[in-house]
Amino acid sequence: QKVSVEVLAHLEHLALVDFRDLEGVERLQKAIQFADQLHEVNTDGVEPMDSVLEDRWCLYLREDDVTEGNCIKELMENAREKVEEYFVAPPG
């Protein structure tokens, strides 16, 4: 399955990935071919799972205990590239 120029441009914009070289396009096409195999799987009568863990029927969430705060300046020192107070990801 071929990937149109419009789809490539849209994916580049969303993922901040450059698909201008042949290797990048080939990788994307292989990923699409791999994912297309999922259309062949018959899922009639299969209920969606809440968890990929077979022996757990519900997921337990822990309490969110805030131990620190107001450390934006220290966190932003870890950014290789930033715009205003936001990390640029992926860098470059």
Q: How confident is the model over 3-58, as pLDDT tens digits?
A: 788 887 888 888 767 777 788 778 888 888 898 898 899 989 988 776 666 666 66
Residue 21, in any domain of the structure: yes
Residue 69, in any domain of the structure: no
Using alpha carbons, select from 42, 39, 60 the residue that is nearest to residue 51.
60
Residue 77, in any domain of the structure: no
Residue 91 has pLDDT above 60, yes or no: no
Residue 47, in any domain of the structure: no
- Average pLDDT value for residue range 83-89: 86
Number of structural domains, the chain?
A: 1
pLDDT of residue 51: 65
pLDDT of residue 55: 67
- Average pLDDT value for residue range 61-89: 86
State the amino acid at position 24 in one-letter form: G
State the amino acid at position 76 in one-letter form: M
> How far is 26 from 20, CA to CA, in rounded Å?
11
> How far is 33 from 76, CA to CA, in rounded Å?
39
Full domain range(s) for residue 11: 1-40
pLDDT of residue 39: 87
Using alpha carbons, select from 16, 19, 21 the residue that is nearest to residue 8.
19
Residue 1, in any domain of the structure: yes
Residue 92 has pLDDT above 60, yes or no: no
